[in-house]
Structure 1
Amino acid sequence: MDPRSEVLLRQAGLFGGELLLAGLPADDLLGHLPQAHGWSWHAGEQAQLAARFAGRCYFGVEPGARACEAAVLFLPKSRELTDYLLASLAARLPGALLYLVGEKRAGIERAAKQLTAFGSPRKLDSARHCQLWQVRVDTPPTAPVLESLARHYSLPLSDGELQVVSLPGVFSHGRLDVGSALLLQHLDDLPSGHLLDFGCGAGVLGATLKRRYPSSQVTLLDVDAFAVASSRLTLAANGLEANVIAGDGIDAAPSGLSAILSNPPFHQGVHTHYQATEHLLRQARVHLLPQGELRLVANSFLKYPPLIETHLGPCQTLTEANGFRIYRARAR
């Protein structure tokens, strides 16, 4: 059981009615709170919850239509995303109770101050290195429009400027990260066919690929609903069309790919996870055509080449700069 869920269950008497659990972990919490339902924006956690608690968890960037008497937000990493989520929930709960739960190292005490916009928050519990806060929504906000919170910026590329639309919570919100900037400089000579942007974020790489290789089919894949929505906005802002899908890792990708390109993420919340990237390297060959190519950027300290060579083929380092390397390999 996630420690945040354990803290909630210490106060289970507060949560007997129609409760919305926003950003809930994929554990047994819904089993302990039979009248509760969930809202998830993580495709992997959503899939696990849907398998165990069919029909009780909604996936998307908005809370969904189902009514609730109270809500709990599991604190996300991004402050901007927390602002949006709290406002979205508080707008639905005038005069009702809104709870915030999170780990101390994730900044729960700082985040609790964001509750003061709606009323007078109070701390209910502190255990398992987590805290639980409560506020009665005496000052409900207007429901926020997610797209109005987007950050827009332009990238000067060799074939013209690319317009990027970044939503709260998306990796490298409102700016181009160093790794992606390096990868954008090494997109030449890709095989024609079906190209995949794995871990698409705001859609910078996928949109660039579609514009540079217009005759190729391009798919953008991310585990996060806000990244999927952001990628669609970036494509639309540049008059481009591509397939954008939500899925938990490379297993959700189509087969018959001519190339997989990625600036793979290795953070989930405040935790560091390499499993998704390592699984990508192990399974890329299953999704690539013979001689299909994997091209990715990674921190120089990550020991990916042996894994690539074991599961795919000889690994070539195309360049190294600013603590990052670009790797290329072809499926045997």
Structure 2
Amino acid sequence: MSLALPSQLLLQQDLIEQTLLINPPQDDLPHHAPKTWTVACLSFAVSHNYQQQGFALADICSPPNKTFAHVIIYMSKAKARLGLMLDYARDCLQEDGEIWVVGENKGGIKSLAKQLKGDFDKADKMTSGKHSAIVCASGPQDKKPFDINSYYSDQQNELDIPLQALPGVFSQEKLDKGTAVLLKNLPRKVKGRVLDFGCGAGIIGSYISQHREVEEVELIDDDILAVKSAQKNIEDNKVAYSEAFLSNGFEKIEDRYHWIVSNPPFHQGVKTDYNVTENFLKQAKEHLKLSGKLLIVANEFLNYEVILRESFNGVKQIAKENGFKVLQCEGIKRKPK
């Protein structure tokens, strides 16, 4: 693993030991940053990486219990998250403290100083390089206690399932076309133990729990705000036999399922990364019962069938509409002895 470009720029600066780091990427920064830093991650995998390196962790979903003279925020691909992260930073910033926002030029950092002028007494670009920049803000206005519950928004869907999601969670405001195609063509025979992989706010798992005869539905995601949203929706909608929890891929999965259902994720930071989905497709069979089935939805142009046929004897397209296809896979190929 190497250093992301914004991390390279950050490490060129004079760094303060008592710092809160928010939303760092999956890179080698833990090996270079001061171990006195506290880290608040939005990714379970990244959080685990920092914890293994001995960093103290802060929970981005809970009110801050400590103040800092310095806060560093990494820009998110989901720009809607910046407001939440800035509010969290403001609440734990000491008087006369500074907030640095670091990000790639193509990720929106260029216009950020201008956007922050109304929220801070001072907001200016501090430095740039490595195709990245750092914006420094101080003197926050309208400082208020951080409450994660104030950031939920209602998702519009026609499935008669009230759903709420935190900023940047996949299809936060409206049910995405791919998931809509998947649920419209969900086989009636989906039953038993079901895993919703990359669950987002939990719409797939919630729908299956309410419309199919299942023993149990587990929902997993690496995104901390996604799992928080899914947990809230399971509780609010009284969805039976369901649990949402954090997992880096299949890392926290110990059992096998009758069905794994997914609209697979494929983003890492600012970049699209199909390795995330390809790894999921290759590993899925290891977490299915012998008679288990994998059901996914994907863009028409993505040739996932080639990867899937390495693991399954039967790979069938059961639906195709609105630019998406639904693939059902069964007949797990055994490894040769």
TM-score range, shorter chain: over 0.9
Cα displacement (A) at 1:270: 1.9
| CA distance in 2: counterparts of 1:212 and 1:88, whole angstroms | 38
Cα displacement (A) at 1:59: 5.1
| CA distance in 1: counterparts of 2:324 and 2:214, whole angstroms | 30
Unpaired runs of 5+ residues, structure 2, are 333-337
> Is 1:47 aligned with 2:33?
no
| CA distance in 1: counterparts of 2:77 and 2:63, whole angstroms | 18
After superposition, the Cα gap between the structure-2 partners of 1:262 and 1:22, relative to the gap in structure 1 and judged at 3 Å, is: same
| CA distance in 2: counterparts of 1:138 and 1:299, whole angstroms | 43
> Would you say the 8 A contact 1:191–1:292 is kept in 2?
no
| CA distance in 1: counterparts of 2:180 and 2:97, whole angstroms | 46
| CA distance in 1: counterparts of 2:306 and 2:139, whole angstroms | 54
| CA distance in 1: counterparts of 2:238 and 2:35, whole angstroms | 46
2:128 alignment partner, one of 126, 129, 144? 126
| CA distance in 2: counterparts of 1:62 and 1:109, whole angstroms | 30
Cα displacement (A) at 1:87: 1.2
Matches within 5 A, 1:252-331: 252-331=252-331
> Is 1:6 aligned with 2:8?
yes
> Would you say the 8 A contact 2:190–2:213 is kept in 1?
no
| CA distance in 1: counterparts of 2:252 and 2:34, whole angstroms | 30
> Is 1:90 aligned with 2:94?
no
> Would you say the 8 A contact 2:164–2:172 is kept in 1?
no
Cα displacement (A) at 1:25: 2.4
Aligned to 1:190: 189
| CA distance in 1: counterparts of 2:220 and 2:140, whole angstroms | 40
Aligned to 1:108: 109
Cα displacement (A) at 1:294: 0.3
| CA distance in 1: counterparts of 2:78 and 2:146, whole angstroms | 17
Cα displacement (A) at 1:239: 1.6
TM-score normalized with structure 1 length: 0.92
2:82 match: secondary structure = helix
> Would you say the 8 A contact 1:90–1:137 is kept in 2?
no
After superposition, the Cα gap between the structure-2 partners of 1:102 and 1:70, relative to the gap in structure 1 and judged at 3 Å, is: same
| CA distance in 2: counterparts of 1:149 and 1:97, whole angstroms | 24
Stretch deviating more after TM superposition (146-155 or 25-34): 25-34
Cα displacement (A) at 1:75: 0.5
Alignment root-mean-square deviation, CA: 1.8
| CA distance in 1: counterparts of 2:321 and 2:200, whole angstroms | 22
Aligned to 1:146: 148
Q: Deviations over 1:133-185 (max 9, x none)?
A: 1111242521342222211135333xxx1111111010122111000000111
Cα displacement (A) at 1:3: 1.3
Aligned to 2:246: 246
Aligned to 2:29: 29
Q: After the TM superposition, which segments of 4 or more aligned residues of structure 1 sit over 6 Å from their partners? A: none
Aligned length: 326
Unpaired runs of 5+ residues, structure 1, are none
